[in-house]
Structure 1
Amino acid sequence: MPQSLTNATDRAYDILRSEYHPLDAIFAPKNIAVIGATEKEGSVGRTLLWNLIRNPFGGTVFPINPKRNSVLGIKAYPKISDLPESIDLAIIATPAHTVPGIIGECIDAGVKGAITLSAGFKETGEAGVELERQILQQLRRGSMRLIGPNCLGIMNPHTNVNATFASSMALPGKVGFISQSGALCTAILDWSFREHVGFSAFISIGSMLDVGWGDLIYYLGDDPNTESIVIYMEAIGDARSFLSAAREVALTKPIILIKSGRTAAAAKAAASHTGALMGSDAVLDAALRRCGVLRVDSISELFDMAEILAKQPRPKGKRLTILTNAGGPGVIATDALNTGGGELAQLSEDTKNNLKQLLPANGSYNNPIDLLGDAQPSRYASALEIAAKDSASDGLLVILTPQAMTDPTQTAQLLQNYAHLGKPVLASWMGDIAVETGSELLNKASIPTFPYPDTAARMFNYMWHYSYNLRSLYETPVLPDNADTDIPDRALVDKIINTAREAGRTLLTEAESKELLGAYGIPTVTTRIAIGVEEAVRVAEEIGYPVVLKLFSETITHKTDVGGVRLNLHTSDEVRTAYQAIESSVAEKVGANHFAGVTVQPMINLKNGYELILGSSIDPQFGPVLLFGCGGELVEVFQDRALGLPPLNTTLARRMMEQTRIYKALQGVRGKESVDLAALEQLIVRFSQLVVEQSWIKEIDINPLLAQANGDSLLALDARVVLQKSSSKETQLPKLAIRPYPNQYIYTWEMRNGTKVKIRPIRPEDEPLIIKFHHTISEESVYFRYFHLIKLSRRIAHERLTRLCFIDYDRQIALVADYKNPHTQQHEILAVGRLSKLNGKREAEFALIISDRHQCQGLGSELLQQLLQIGRDEHLKKISAEILAENTAMQHVCKKLGFHIERTEDPSVLTAEIQL
């Protein structure tokens, strides 16, 4: 009997809320208690109650006021425990010092959700921090979710809930808006009425004591009324939760963000070049790229991009074709395009010839295409149709200036037919009253229209950046051929780090740093320690001239700052002179006790290579952050660098490289060959692995990392490693913002027939193996797994497999049974087991599917048993799945492992549940 099983989440990848979500109590409550309701004019309690009354949401409102029998004509109750029915949502508008006790009363009364509007918490100092601690202590006693404190509240225009003290109810629409600033909420609400912008949810998140960005992004991601999510952010809070939620939801719904504080000075670390090049805002940009969130610069762009991405497809590249009836606006648009990284499309000869036949002699059929001031509507339409067919163009911008011969309205009427070309079409109808009707026609036809062409060009740049980042996230990386054997010498690294920590040192010597890099397969230049002049001469002669002498010290981080480097030494006398010069310079500048000898290294010719930097430093919000770019002595002057969050794969490593200016040189310029970019990718990935695994490392630099087109193509010439303080506890070490590959779940297991397989978590590089795996599955197994038949071509489509292989290990764990065929030496996946957490709950659903040839060998039981253990490790409360009634084999596996099986309303489907 085929062993496969499915669950509701995995069966339907379309976002759909089929079950009750804990935040439904806040956004779609059946009844609401207003704690602090009053009739005092101008008070928050009165405004809030009035908003709830005048916007009927289909439920009951209960005022809570111990001093009044009624408020605004509604019966009032002294406290929440006196209410005649259980409450979905409690809204608290009382002084801050009363809130912890009220939260406790709500927990005791079984309230499901709460909003605390009150201010006076951590923003006021230590007393406010203590109040928040008390609130959290109460929340831990139950399952109630809390928004706030210090917030405006929330609106759900689709359920008519106005749980705020704003003056008006938002219009219903398809944009979910989340803001950390209540004042900004009211300003945007006022603006939205003028611009006719509607919302699926309007949320003031406040201090995020409980419900944070991740919770709300997941909730709106599941919400069928929300098509895009826009965010005003002041602080990211729980970075891992935000990135995890955003990465998942951005695949199906655009997330557009504006963050204040872009120009705030970032704290710079003094010990490393990497630290000096870091900046919190640049790190945020890197984090947003990593999860597919689009960052914009202004509030108008925030909503413009939400509209554009809802109306037009994402461009496949950065090449834009501009059509205009005036030269100046075309040039303005081109400048804005190029400034933002976009490019003018290079039109094909066929396109130019077709345009040449259409345009008057004075027209320009180059890009920008000048249709001339007398362009009639038909000329616009024909030119747009010709330009759209050119495969070199990724998007189109149509510009119209109102001239005597121009008909903006009729032109717009004709262009409405070109709203859906498979590539984005934008328009700029310049002017005011003369173009107003035409602009409205285009916007209604889903062609976003702007009054200025440079604005439209900037919007296109946002679009292709957004598309590029999303594509990068799910481009299948390459697994190196030596992935199975290229295992770091972790024992050696532990020894190096522990030795330094036991000695009370936070700085590794250069020799130790290079030894640590070598343990992770990163090639380093030969480095030998010499204590004394004659030993330095002897080592130099053994290595061979010319050589380099560098200061050997357990305390000095930047050797050049103290005269601690001497290059290009060709004789023993030069080595002696250099040794003495380094010793004297160090003694003079920082003291003789900082000199412990020198290291001797071969002099490497840099003439035909490129000096790079590869490093990592700690960001206070995101933990370890990686840096790659142009290195050498002037690294901080040129500041040609890209940042990224670990862990990396080869695709993400390449994207970091592409963001730097030196990347063009690395590909080969002026007759030079390209460096080995594939090897550089893999080196960056190994460095990322080092950073992920070695949490005691605070800062690490390889500068310079020499990249050459021949010989030893990649070589670390210098390295610096700074450790966390020895007094630090392991639990206090900075955490990664993105959960790394869970190596702890890798083990070898033997099937009943004696075949040994490796059970391990899935990885993005497995996509080709998963494709082959699906070729081994019968239609019956497919039916048991998905509850309906799915064509092979659809099962192995890249867009689908990205959801299966490119997983967030905070959200899902998929285990595969990996078998290496001894005859072909090729890897095969024999089975997949998946555990998917449910949004807003400490529960998960699981699914299993096993290749038909390898069923009845115990794989199903083994994988499910391991998924249960992972659920316990993740502190889940329940794991469940749905099974077809005819799938008796999987029912047997579940019963054997302690699942309770029940029938559902559908007689063909059973549910299997286990409490952990």
Structure 2
Amino acid sequence: METRLDALFDPDRVCVVGATEREGSVGRAVTHNMLDSFAGETVPVNPNTETVFGERAYPDVASVPGKIDLAVVVVPVAVAVDVVRQAGEAGIGHVVVVTAGFGETGSEGARRERELREVAREYDLALVGPNSLGVLSTGSGLNATFGPDMALPGDVSFMSQSGAFVTAVLDWANDRGLGFRDVVSLGNKAVLDERDFVEAWGSDPDTSVVLGYLEGITDGRAFVDTAREVTAETPVVVVKSGRTEAGAHAAASHTGTIAGSEAAYEAGLEQAGVLRAETVEELFDTAEALAGQPLPGGESVAVVTNAGGPGVMATDAVGDSGLSLASFTDETLDRFREVLPEAANVYNPVDVIGDAPVERFGAAIEAALADPNVDSLAVIACPVAVLTFEELADEVVAKAAEAGKPVAVCLMGGDSTREATRILNEAGVPAYFDPARAVRSLDALREYAAVRAREYESPTTFDVDREAAREVLQEAADRGETRLGVEAMGLLSAYGIPTPAGEVVTSPHEALEAAEEIEGDVVMKIVSPDILHKSDIGGVRVGVPNREVYDAYEDLVTRARNYQPDATLLGVQVQELLDLSAGVETIVGANRDPQFGPLVLFGLGGVFVEVLEDTTVRVAPISEREATEMLDDIRAAPLLRGARGRDPVDEGAVVETLQRLSQLVTDFPAILELDVNPLVVTPEGACAVDVRLTIDPEEL
């Protein structure tokens, strides 16, 4: 299927603006790389010379005859925007801006980048960069980069926000014999970003795996939506740097990225079905497995080894993963006993012992793969005199092909593993030195199989009173308030989130009248946007009988005035008293992330929420399935399900509340932060007892 970026990777004619033979220059490197490998025509553009490396040079883009598909801009920053404009005027649809000195350098550079973006928008340019190493594609031989190496051909496409990272990866991959389809240095992402390339490579039949090194994501919500569609067919794996506060600051100074919260990235990538690698090694280990192996039917793994110690290491790695050790059938155990000596261990992990020749190793591998309880296999071998790794590699390739199940190999040696590794890699079987890496690669296959198996479910749209909610927010904005408390309970009610009976009153007489409308004792709380932690100053009274309501009102107001004389007092909330002993106090909330927009939070609530930190988040809007998963995520999930003899709570009520809250914060970008704490959940339902939120009146 043709995409907007096809001509970026497979152009017929490319002009290099800034082409030169000057030693040590970026323009020389790009031009040399293009002339060295590109199957199409490379056209140098330089007003100061008639030829570059024997090719006719033109003084500017406008003077180049015929159609140009791609312009590579390698000129001083002061004229780069003008050159891009000339490319647009000449009808060139694709541009790579290698030139640096834009948003990564400060305010003046940011101004240039805005101008560059406007030019690209005016001429509808598919523009990579600026501050980019360039792009390459082995399919067309395109090497529009100033890196020292061309990639080997392969079916993995790779994008990186760091140009230096690209050069390091290509050098490393060439040494290991790993190939690529397309490689892109994203640079500052003024126009094209990670979402565009995920979308393009998802439609490319020659790309089997998409990899990325990202320091930030430009539009998190759009990325989730796009990647979710792509990962249903093509695996996407990323390393996301800037996980710590210090790392996020470094990323921002490096490419002008505004780092979103780590929790947002974790949630967004999971919802999109994107696999996350923690290291560069893990990124490419995962790619090798995904590119060459079938997906497993489940999580059960078998380990076959000729050394007990590495077998134990593999077992530990299984325990740290989402895999589980397979339990062999009686038939498989009998088969092991037939083909293995008495001293061998026939249980998982299977130890064929150190004197095993290739025939014994192969028989054990065949038996393990034939077991219906085995979904994948890790083969671990140490060098011994009776076995060569090359023999074992041939045996593994043959047995794996027959079984059609994923296999990862660990060859624990040095030079003796090289030829065997080549044999395995050519057959698509990943090989590693460390047993843990072999297990991790199988776990990545399990994880991606789960992504492929899950069905996308659209968020539920509830029938709500949006205008009533808007009135609550607008009234606060009209009062000049940006922080709201229980006076905003009507906001929740408008979106169908249950709240206790009650109202906000402004006199002792009104308080008494409100209390008389409620059966039993009541809860009374100061209502003030300036006093957030009301219980800390005695601003909350619980279990107040009707006869004490009048005096309680006077006492609460006095306490608030003494604590903060200039605080805005909106009154006192008189609220139904709930029996908390029969329920679990949870928290539901939301905040707005710079990249991903509104995030919905759920966890154990009450006064200990900040201490226990037992919460989970998702990018809004969320579906019923995603809301249900949030309940499973927290460590305190057993409390919801009747731990220690308690009745299980109404989980469906929590799931619906999370979805309604998700719809609320999606509908109103003015809500920057919102906490419902506690949301009391009982066997009969859920009820929002308290609320706090921060708004941006400019967004109303």
Query: With structure 1 as the length reference, what TM-score do the two structures score?
Result: 0.70
Query: Is 2:37 aligned against 1:85?
Result: no
Q: CA deviation at 1:617?
A: 0.3
Aligned counterpart for 1:252 among listed residues 227, 233, 236: 233
Q: Which residue of 2 aligns with 1:62?
A: 43
Contact map agreement 2:486 2:527 (CA 8 A) in 1: yes
Q: SS of 2:580's equivalent? A: coil
Q: Is the CA contact (8 Å cut-off) linking 2:605 and 2:677 kept in structure 1? A: yes
Q: Which residue of 1 aligns with 2:686?
A: 714
Q: Is the 8 A contact 1:562 1:590 kept in 2?
A: no
Matches within 5 A, 1:199-214: 199-214=180-195
TM-score using structure 2 length: 0.90
CA 1:88 to 1:445, structure 2 compared with 1: closer, same or farther past 3 Å? Answer: closer
Residue 657 of structure 2 aligns to which amino acid in structure 1? L
Cα 1:536–1:624, aligned 2, differ >3 Å: closer, same or farther? Answer: same
Count of aligned pairs between the two proteins: 690
Q: Deviations over 1:229-273 (max 9, x none)?
A: 111112212334433332222222211111221112699xxxxxx
Q: Is structure 2 residue 506 aligned with structure 1 residue 525?
A: no
For structure 1, list consecutive stretches of 5 or more residues without a partner in the other structure.
1-15, 268-277, 731-916
RMSD of aligned residue pairs (Cα, Å): 3.1
Contact 1:627 1:642 survives alignment (8 Å)? yes
Which digits, 9 at most, give the CA deviation of each residue in 1:402-443, with x for residues without a partner? Answer: 456666554444333332545432222223345555444444
Q: CA deviation at 1:309?
A: 0.7
Secondary structure in 2 matching 1:555: coil
* Alpha-carbon offset, residue 637 of structure 1: 1.6
The aligned runs of 1:432-451 (5 Å cut-off) are 432-451=414-433
Alignment of 1:259-274 (within 5 A): 259-264=240-245
For 1:353 and 1:522, the matched residues in 2 are separated by 60
Contact 2:333 2:347 (8 Å CA) reproduced = yes
Instruction: Say yes or no: does 1:697 pair with 2:671.
Output: yes
Change (3 A) 1:172 1:596: same
Assess if the C-alpha contact under 8 Å between 2:521 and 2:546 holds in 1: no
1:700 CA drift (Å) = 1.4
1:549 aligns with 2:521: no
Which of 130, 133, 149 is equivalent to 1:149?
A: 130
- Matches of residues 500-511 of structure 1 in structure 2 within 5 Å? 500-511=476-487
Following superposition, the deviation at residue 620 of structure 1 comes to: 0.8
Q: Which amino acid aligns with 2:124?
A: S
In the TM superposition, residue 288 of structure 1 has moved relative to its aligned partner by 0.9
Cα distance, 1:469 vs structure 2 = 3.9
CA–CA separation in structure 1 for the residues paired with 2:527 and 2:686:
24
Distance verdict in 2 for CA 1:72–1:352, change over 3 Å: closer
User: What pairs with 1:334-483 in structure 2 (closer than 5 Å)?
Assistant: 334-347=315-328, 363-375=344-356, 377-402=358-383, 408-420=389-401, 421-472=403-454, 474=455
* CA 191–670 in structure 1, closer or farther in 2 if over 3 Å, else same: same
Alignment of 1:650-729 (within 5 A): 650-708=624-682, 710=683, 712-724=684-696, 726=697, 728-729=698-699
Mapped pair 1:38 → 2:20 = yes
Find the aligned partners of 2:389 and 2:669 in 1 and give their Cα distance. 62
Relative to structure 1, is the Cα distance of residues 45 and 410 closer, same or farther in structure 2, using a 3 angstrom cutoff? closer
Q: Secondary structure of 1:447's match?
A: coil
In the alignment, the residues of structure 1 paired with residue 86 and residue 607 of structure 2 have an alpha-carbon distance, to the nearest angstrom, of: 63
Tell me which amino acid in the other structure corresponds to 1:312.
Q
Letter in structure 2 aligned against 1:164: T
In structure 2, what is the equivalent of residue 495 of structure 1? 471
- Paired residues of 2:260 and 2:595 also in contact (CA < 8 A): no
In structure 2, which of residues 134, 144, 153 is the aligned counterpart of residue 163 of structure 1?
144
Tell me which of 488, 495, 514 is aligned to 1:512.
Answer: 488
> Which of residues 525, 530, 533 in structure 2 aligns to 1:558?
533
Alpha-carbon deviations, 1:839-861, whole Å to 9, x = none?
xxxxxxxxxxxxxxxxxxxxxxx
Residue 169 of structure 1: SS of its match in structure 2? coil
- Superposition pairs for residues 80-159 of structure 1, below 5 Å? 80-159=61-140
1:188 is matched with 169
1:912 paired residue number: none
Aligned pair in 2 of structure 1 residues 538, 361: CA closer, same or farther (>3 Å)? farther
Structure 2 portions without partners, runs of 5+:
249-258
Amino acid at match of 2:223: F
8 Å CA contact retained: 2:502, 2:514: no
Which residue matches 2:253?
A: none
Verify the 8 A CA contact 2:46 2:57 in the aligned structure 1: yes
- Aligned equivalent of 1:750: none
Letter in 1 for 2:136: M
Task: Give per-residue Cα distances to partners, 1:793-851, cap 9 Å, x unaligned.
Answer: xxxxxxxxxxxxxxxxxxxxxxxxxxxxxxxxxxxxxxxxxxxxxxxxxxxxxxxxxxx
Query: Which segment drifts farther, 66-75 or 35-44?
Result: 66-75
Change (3 A) 1:687 1:382: farther
Does structure 1 residue 644 correspond to structure 2 residue 644? no
- Partners of 2:152 and 2:409 lie apart in 1 by 26
| Mapped contact 1:401–1:431 kept (Cα < 8 A) | yes
Match of 1:705, SS state, is strand
Give distance in 1, aligned partners of 2:457 and 2:224: 20
Determine if contact 1:92/1:115 at 8 Å carries over to the other structure. Answer: yes
C-alpha distance in structure 1 between counterparts of 2:268 and 2:175, whole Å: 34
Give the Cα separation in 2 of the matches to 1:164 and 1:534: 78
In the alignment, is the contact (CA less than 8 A) between 1:266 and 1:280 conserved in 2?
no
Q: 1:586 deviation in Å? A: 3.0
Say if 1:185 and 1:641 are closer, same or farther in 2 by CA, change over 3 A.
Answer: same
1:225 to 206, 211, 229: 206
* Bigger RCO (CA 8 Å, 6+ sep): 1
Report the CA distance shift for 1:639/1:345 in structure 2 as closer, same or farther (over 3 A). farther
Query: Compared with structure 1, are the counterparts of its residues 334 and 586 closer, same or farther at alpha carbon in structure 2 (3 Å cutoff)?
Result: farther
1:300 partner amino acid = E
